[in-house]
A and B are shown apart, each in its own frame.
Chain A
Amino acid sequence: MHKRSNEPVFWSLFGAGGVVAALLMPALVFVTGIAGPLGLLGDGALSYERVLGFVGSVFGKLFLILVISLTFWHACHRIYHSSHDLGIRVRRGRLALLFYGFAAFGTVLTVIVVAGIG
Chain B
Amino acid sequence: MLAALGPNHRHRQDHTMTERLKEINIEVFRYLPEHDDEPHFETYKVPFADNTSVLEGLQYIKDHLDGSLAFRWSCRMAICGSCGKMVNGAPQLSCRTFLRDYYPGKVRIEPLDHFPVERDLIVDQSDFLRKLEGIKPYLHSVKPRAIADGPHHQTPAELAEYEQFSQCINCLLCYAACPQYGLDNEFTGPGVLALLHRYNADSRDAAKAERMQVVNAEQGVWGCTLVGYCSEVCPKGVDPALAVNRNKICSTKDYFLRFLTPRGTRV
**A: contact size bracket:** 10 to 19
The verdict on B216 contacting chain A, using a C-beta distance below 8 Å, is: yes
**Are A2 and B252 in contact, CB atoms less than 8 angstroms apart?**
no
Complex Cα gap A84–B180 (Å):
9
Closest CB-CB distance, A12 to chain B, in whole Å?
A: 6
Say whether chain B's binding surface is mostly helix, strand, loop, or mixed: helix
Closest CB-CB distance, B98 to chain A, in whole Å?
A: 33
The verdict on B100 contacting chain A, using a C-beta distance below 8 Å, is: no
**Are B183 and A2 in contact, CB atoms less than 8 angstroms apart?**
no
Complex partner residue of A4 from B179, B184, B225, B255, CB under 8 angstroms: B255
Closest CB-CB distance, A114 to chain B, in whole Å?
A: 27
The verdict on A30 contacting chain B, using a C-beta distance below 8 Å, is: no
**Are B218 and A8 in contact, CB atoms less than 8 angstroms apart?**
no
Complex partner residue of B251 from A3, A8, A85, A89, CB under 8 angstroms: A8
Complex Cα gap A84–B216 (Å):
20
Closest CB-CB distance, B163 to chain A, in whole Å?
A: 27
Complex Cα gap A6–B248 (Å):
12
For B204-246 the 0/1 string (1 means CB < 8 A from A) is 0000000001101111101001000000000000000000000
**Are A5 and B183 in contact, CB atoms less than 8 angstroms apart?**
no
**Are A12 and B217 in contact, CB atoms less than 8 angstroms apart?**
no
The verdict on B138 contacting chain A, using a C-beta distance below 8 Å, is: no
The verdict on B103 contacting chain A, using a C-beta distance below 8 Å, is: no
User: Beyond A2-B216, A3-B217, is A8–B252 a contact (Cβ under 8 Å)?
Assistant: yes
The verdict on A50 contacting chain B, using a C-beta distance below 8 Å, is: no
B41 cross-chain contacts in A, Cβ below 8 A:
none
For B134-178 the 0/1 string (1 means CB < 8 A from A) is 000000000000000000000000000000000000000000000
**B: contact size bracket:** 10 to 19
The verdict on A23 contacting chain B, using a C-beta distance below 8 Å, is: no
For A64-94 the 0/1 string (1 means CB < 8 A from B) is 0000000000000000010011010100000
Complex partner residue of A12 from B222, B225, B252, CB under 8 angstroms: B252
Closest CB-CB distance, B252 to chain A, in whole Å?
A: 4
The verdict on A105 contacting chain B, using a C-beta distance below 8 Å, is: no
A6 cross-chain contacts in B, Cβ below 8 A:
255
The verdict on A40 contacting chain B, using a C-beta distance below 8 Å, is: no
**Are A84 and B183 in contact, CB atoms less than 8 angstroms apart?**
yes
Complex Cα gap A8–B251 (Å):
7
The verdict on A63 contacting chain B, using a C-beta distance below 8 Å, is: no
Closest CB-CB distance, A33 to chain B, in whole Å?
A: 30
Complex partner residue of B183 from A7, A9, A12, A89, CB under 8 angstroms: A89
Q: Could you list some 28 contacts between A and B, CB below 8 A?
A: A2-B213, A2-B216, A2-B217, A2-B219, A2-B220, A3-B217, A3-B218, A4-B213, A4-B216, A4-B217, A5-B216, A5-B222, A7-B218, A7-B222, A7-B251, A8-B248, A8-B255, A9-B255, A11-B222, A11-B248, A12-B252, A81-B225, A84-B183, A84-B225, A85-B225, A87-B183, A89-B183, A89-B184
B residues contacting A by CB (< 8 A) are 179, 183-184, 213-214, 216-220, 222, 225, 248, 251-252, 254-256
7 closest residue pairs by CB, A with B: A8-B255, A8-B252, A7-B222, A2-B217, A5-B218, A2-B213, A5-B222
A residues contacting B by CB (< 8 A) are 2-9, 11-12, 81, 84-85, 87, 89
Not counting A2-B219, A5-B251, A7-B218, a sample of 19 additional A-B residue pairs whose C-beta atoms are within 8 angstroms of each other reads: A2-B213, A2-B216, A2-B217, A3-B218, A5-B216, A5-B222, A6-B255, A7-B251, A8-B248, A8-B251, A8-B252, A8-B255, A8-B256, A9-B255, A11-B252, A85-B179, A85-B183, A89-B183, A89-B184
